[in-house]
Amino acid sequence: MMGQFIQQLINGLTLGSVYGLIALGYTMVYGIIGMINFAHGDIYMISAIIAVTVLTLLGSLGIMAVPVALLITLVVAIVFTSVYGWSVERIAYRPLRNASRLAPLISAIGMSIFLQNMVQLTQGARVKPINALLPGGFELFTSNGFTVHLAYTQIMIIAVTAVLLVVFTYLITKTSFGRQQRACEQDRTMTALLGINVDRTISMTFVIGAALAAVAGVMVTVYYGVVDFSIGFVAGIKAFTAAVLGGIGSLPGAMLGGLIIGMIESFWSAYLSPEYKDVATFVLLILVLMFRPSGLLGRPEVEKV
């Protein structure tokens, strides 16, 4: 039983890292303009589709060395996906900056529908399989006839996530962009009065969110090896749930929420029923919010009158 437990822990950690990376994008955008960026899941999906294209292209060019191929794919996916993130903000959200809370939500839902169908039209509706880029892995140990596997892709996902988190934390806490970003979160008017270009900061937030989602998209492509145009919706909802679970607006909270949801999914699938794993996720969300209305790490909001 120990073996099964460890295996699920590894699987959950992998899945949770991906959810966490996407959740960071949600929570950053929510923190700075207070809206649910419903199209974020589709940004992640676009990155996965781009990754398939790039990997196929590299394969046809004969570039098969794993680190090189992976690095090129990551860079290309980040660049193009960031442009998508930027454009989404520019087209659908910026004109609605001063509108009521629901207006950007609706245009975000519209954007999500648009992106999904755009990809379905331009890239086809079929599932896209790619050859395993990084097959194999370690066999950690065997107990009671159950062998615990740690795939190379899992190591890659966990390692890349860890590195990214360090870079990201540095970016937010130490750089001048990070300071501007946090200032905008607290008070946009005051920040603008201090001579900071609020619009550009918000655009940059979308670009960074999209870049994180792009990394998640590339890694999922390499991990599962299949991608289609509809993967964005479910991943987006899970990641948003993760962001809310951790306390929306809180960056460590998003990562924590992602890990918790990854764990629940893999443990629930292994020990109980895979059909109801999503039900378990949402029930847990409702339970947590009943007792901690601002999420696990969120600060309770004090309403000023």
Partner 1 sequence: MTTHAHNLPNVASRLKDATGIALVSLLLGVPMIGLKTVDAGGALAIATRWPWLLAFVATMFVGRLVLQFVLDHVKLNKAKRARTRPEIGATRPWLKWIGYGVVGFALVLPIAFSGNRYVVDTATTVLIYVMLGWGLNVVVGLAGLLDLGYVAFYAVGAYTYGLLSTHFGWGFWETLPVAGAAAATFGVILGWPTLRLRGDYLAIVTLGFGEIIRLILVNWTDFSGGPNGIGSIPRPTFFGLPFSPDSDAGPTFASFFHLEYSPEHRVMFLYYLILVLALLTNLFVSRMRKLPVGLAWEAVREDEVACKALGMNVTNVKLSAFAIGAMLGGFAGVFFAARQGFISPESFVFSESATILAIVVLGGMGSQLGVVIASVLLVLLPELGRDFSEYRMLMFGAAMILIMVWRPGGLIAHREPTYRLAKKGAQA
Q: Which 266-295 positions form the footprint of partner 1 (CB under 8 A)? A: 273, 275-276, 278-279, 281-283, 285-286, 289-290, 293-295
Indicate whether 124 belongs to the interface with partner 1 (CB under 8 A): yes
| Pairwise CA distance, residues 193 & 202, whole Å | 16
| Pairwise CA distance, residues 21 & 43, whole Å | 12
Q: Out of 11, 73, 112, 180, point to the residue binding partner 1 (CB under 8 A).
A: 112
| Pairwise CA distance, residues 22 & 17, whole Å | 9
Q: Out of 6, 9, 72, 130, point to the residue binding partner 1 (CB under 8 A).
A: 130
The CA radius of gyration of the chain, in Å to the nearest whole number, is: 20
Residue span binding partner 1 (CB under 8 A) among the ranges 9-17, 86-94, 170-178, 194-202: 86-94
Q: Out of 18, 28, 111, 160, point to the residue binding partner 1 (CB under 8 A).
A: 111
Q: Out of 19, 44, 80, 268, point to the residue binding partner 1 (CB under 8 A).
A: 80
Residue span binding partner 1 (CB under 8 A) among the ranges 102-110, 163-171, 195-203, 255-263: 102-110
Q: Out of 62, 67, 100, 176, point to the residue binding partner 1 (CB under 8 A).
A: 100
Instruction: Name the minimum Å distance from CB 28 to partner 1.
Output: 15
CB contact at 8 A, 34 and 105: no
If the CB atoms of residues 167 and 303 are measured against partner 1, the closer one turns out to be 303
Tokens coding 178? 């990070």
CB contact at 8 A, 39 and 111: yes
| Pairwise CA distance, residues 134 & 67, whole Å | 10
Tell me the C-alpha to C-alpha distance, in Å, between residue 222 and each of 35, 130, 194.
Answer: 31, 8, 44
To which residue do tokens 């959740």 refer?
23
| Pairwise CA distance, residues 251 & 170, whole Å | 12
Instruction: Name the minimum Å distance from CB 206 to partner 1.
Output: 14
Helix (H, G, I), strand (E, B) or coil at 230: coil
Tokens coding 18? 């991906």
Indicate whether 92 belongs to the interface with partner 1 (CB under 8 A): yes
Burial of 130 (0-12, 13-18, 19+ CB in 10 A): middle
Indicate whether 104 belongs to the interface with partner 1 (CB under 8 A): yes
CB contact at 8 A, 22 and 258: yes
Indicate whether 296 belongs to the interface with partner 1 (CB under 8 A): no
Indicate whether 194 belongs to the interface with partner 1 (CB under 8 A): no
If the CB atoms of residues 124 and 136 are measured against partner 1, the closer one turns out to be 124
Indicate whether 152 belongs to the interface with partner 1 (CB under 8 A): no
Residue span binding partner 1 (CB under 8 A) among the ranges 8-16, 173-181, 239-247, 264-272: 239-247
Instruction: Name the minimum Å distance from CB 34 to partner 1.
Output: 8
Site for partner 1 in 41-70 (CB under 8 A): 46, 49-50, 52-53, 56-57, 60
Instruction: Name the minimum Å distance from CB 170 to partner 1.
Output: 27
Those residues whose C-beta lies under 8 Å from the C-beta of residue 57, and which sit 6 or more positions away, are: none
| Pairwise CA distance, residues 154 & 222, whole Å | 10
Site for partner 1 in 153-172 (CB under 8 A): none
Residue type (1 letter), 83: V
Indicate whether 302 belongs to the interface with partner 1 (CB under 8 A): no
Indicate whether 71 belongs to the interface with partner 1 (CB under 8 A): no
